[in-house]
Amino acid sequence: MASRRTKPKPKPVRVGILTGSPSDLPTVNKAVEVLQALGVGCELKVLSAHRTPERVHRYVATAEGRGIEVLIACAGMANHLAGTVAAQTMLPVIGVPLSSGSIDGLDALLSTVQMPPGIPVGTVGIDGSKNAAYLAARILARRDKRLAKALTRDLDKQRERYDDVD
């Protein structure tokens, strides 16, 4: 008799991750891994404020209506993606400067973090895609007890690594 086991339901997408180029994916995939480990539904799209501005606009305009609660915008060199996204939504936007350019991410750091007043981009460190995911999860955990517990367990695990080290 055929198995009646049903596939697990896909988690609702609560975090949208955008990145400026396919070349960014090895770093940006770390954000996906963190969110998946915490049980947070997310999606990753390659979109660029420079190269695909209309598609960025369409994505951001529909994000909140599709249930997305936090956006993460990653890019190297002149990161205009994060600011452009933040200009078009009231969702919190976390910017990740990437070290893909010739000056190891300093260009991306400054262009991500130095936003004009009223258009905030909460910026993490250079190549900080893991921390962007943790920060997104902490924002969601304010109204999600299961996620708050998962974050606490994760932190406990990290602390355990120090227990037997002199």
Please give the residue ranges that form the binding site for ligand C2R (CB under 6 A).
19-21, 23-24, 48-51, 75-81, 98, 100
Shortest CB 19 distance to ligand C2R, Å:
6
Shortest CB 39 distance to ligand C2R, Å:
28
Shortest CB 23 distance to ligand C2R, Å:
3
Cβ proximity to ligand C2R: between 14 and 80 the closer is 80
Shortest CB 26 distance to ligand C2R, Å:
11
Cβ proximity to ligand C2R: between 30 and 80 the closer is 80
Separation between Cα atoms, residue 44 and residue 114, nearest integer Å: 24
Cβ proximity to ligand C2R: between 51 and 153 the closer is 51
**Full 3-state SS string of 20-81:** CCHHHHHHHHHHHHHHHHCCCEEEEEECCCCCCHHHHHHHHHHHHHHCCCEEEEEEECCCCH
148 near 27, Cβ under 8 Å?
no
Separation between Cα atoms, residue 24 and residue 28, nearest integer Å: 6
